[in-house]
Amino acid sequence: MDKIVVVGNGPLYGKIPIAGAKNACLALMPATLLSSEDLILTNSPRLSDIRTMSHLLKSLGCSVVSLDEGRTLVLSTKNIDNHIAEYDIVRKMRASILVLGPMLAREGRAIVSLPGGCAIGARPVDLHLSVLEALGAIFELRDGYIEGKVNGKLKGAIFTFPMVSVGATENALMAATLALGTTVLKNVAREPEIVDLAECLIKMGANISGHGTSEITIDGVESLKGATHSIVADRIELGTYMLAPVIAGGEVELLGGRRNLISSFCDKLEQSGVEILQKENSLVVRKTNNQVRGINIITEPFPGFPTDLQAQMMAVLCTALGDSILEERIFENRFMHAPELIRMGAKIDVQGGVAKVSGVARLRGAPVMATDLRASVSLILAGLAAEGETIVSRVYHLDRGYEKVEEKLGACGALIQRVSE
C-alpha cells in the first residue's frame, strides 16, 4: 500500500490546474443509461472512483471508452443487458446508487445492492427510494439488494424532499427525464454538480428548468439522444488547494478556479485574513500576514460551507490565532481526522457534531492514518505546515478523489512524495 510523505518546507509559490469535478462526473456517467446514443464527457478527472463507476456501468452492458489519457470518456448504452448492480462494486462507492433512477426510467427494472454504512456516517438511501416511489417505482428489499420495478413507465409527480440530498436529487432528476408528464421536485440540492447534470441532460434532449434553485421542473420526453459535455471544475479540489498557501504561506494560482463555485468558503477565508483574487480564468490565493485568525464554520448544503471542505479547513485552523468552532451538520461522524491532527500537536475538542479548535503555534510531523477521502488530504495539508516528516498511510482514500497530489503540490515547492511499500 502507498504512503505519502510530506516535510514542512515553507511557503508555496506556483500554479495548480483544477480537474473536472469527481462528484459531477459520477452523476453524469450514469446518464448514459438513459439513451442508446453516445454520451461524450470531456474534462474528466482521472481517479479511482471514476474507474469504479466505469466498472459498474460496464457490468450493466455499457461501453466506456477512455480517450486522451482518461480526460475524455465515451459512454454508450445500446442495451442494458444486466440489471443487477452487484454488492462487490456498490460497497466500494455509494455513488453507485445513481444507476437506479436511470435504469428504472429506461427499462422499468433494476436491482442495486444497498450501499451500507461508510466511514462518515450511516448515509441511508431512503430519500432516493421515496422520490422514485413517488414517480411510480415499487421497491422490495431482499438479501441486501434493492429490487425496483415499474408497471409501465414512470409517471411525473410533485415531490418535496424532507431534507436536501445531492444524490437523491440527481437520481430523481435523471429518472424524471423519461417519465410520462411533468415532475416538480421541491427542496432539491442546488450544488454546481446538479446544475452540470441538468445542463448535460438538456443537451441530451431533456426538458428541465429551475436547476440551481430549490425547485426543479422536468417535462418528461419519449427518449434522449447523445451529447458532448465538458465537466464543471472540481470545487472541492479547488478549495483544498486554496488552503495549501494558507497553511504553508505563499501565493498559489488555481487554474480554472471560479469564486462562485465556493463563495461561502471564500468569504470565510477572507474573514480569517486571506487574500483572494479572481482573475479571468483562475483564482489567486495569497497569505499576507503570518497567521490566519480563528473563525467559526457550520457545514450546510450549497450555497453554504461544504462538508467536503470541513476537514481541510480544520487542518488550517489548527495553527490559527485563537479559537475556532466547526459545526458539522451534514454527516454525523465526520471528525475522524481530529484524533490524527491531535497526534500532530493540534488542540481539538470534539463534542458530538461540534469541534473546538484552539490554535497552536506549530504542528509536528507524525505518522498518521487517512480514514476517508477528505480526511486524508487534510493530513497532507497539515503536513505542509508541520515541523519534520508526516507520513500519511491508507492513501487509497486519497486516490478516490485527488489526481496527482504529489505533482500538483510539488510543482509549488512542497516536499512531498509517494512511497510504495
51 binding ligand UD1? (CB under 6 A): no
C-alpha cell belonging to residue 236: 472541492
Among 86, 120, 108, residue whose Cα is nearest residue 378: 120
| Interacting residue with ligand UD1 among 23, 44, 177, 319 (CB under 6 A) | 23
Q: Does 224 bind ligand UD1 (CB under 6 A)?
A: no
Q: Under the criterion CB under 6 A, does residue 231 sit at the interface with ligand UD1?
A: no
For ligand UD1, give the closer residue by CB, 163 or 419.
Answer: 163
C-alpha 198 chain-centroid distance: 17
Q: How long a stretch of residues is the chain? A: 421
Tell me how far, at minimum, the Cβ of 332 lies from ligand UD1, in Å: 7
Q: Which of residues 303-342 bind ligand UD1 (CB under 6 A)?
A: 307-308, 330-331
Contact present, 204 and 36 (Cβ < 8 Å): no
Q: Does 40 bind ligand UD1 (CB under 6 A)?
A: no
Q: Does 124 bind ligand UD1 (CB under 6 A)?
A: yes
Please report whether residue 160 would count as binding ligand UD1 according to CB under 6 A.
no
Q: What residue has cell string 510539488?
A: 410
Report the distance separating Cα 30 and Cα 101, nearest Å.
Answer: 9
Radius of gyration of the chain (CA): 21
CB 166, min distance to ligand UD1, A = 4
- Is the Cβ–Cβ distance between 346 and 323 less than 8 Å? no
Buried b (16+ CB within 10 A) or exposed e, 94-108: bbbbbbbbbbbbbeb
Q: Is 95 in the site for ligand UD1 (CB under 6 A)?
A: yes
Our finding on whether 125 is near ligand UD1 (CB under 6 A) is yes
Identity of residue 320: A
Report the residue from 35, 96, 165, 393 that binds ligand UD1 according to the rule CB under 6 A.
Answer: 165
Pick the closer one to ligand UD1 by CB: 128 or 287.
128
Instruction: Note whether 123 binds ligand UD1 by CB under 6 A.
Output: yes
Catalytic residue list:
118
Give CA–CA dist 363/272, Å, rounded.
19
Which residues here bind ligand UD1, judged by CB under 6 A? 23, 26, 94-95, 121, 123-128, 163, 165-168, 307-308, 330-331
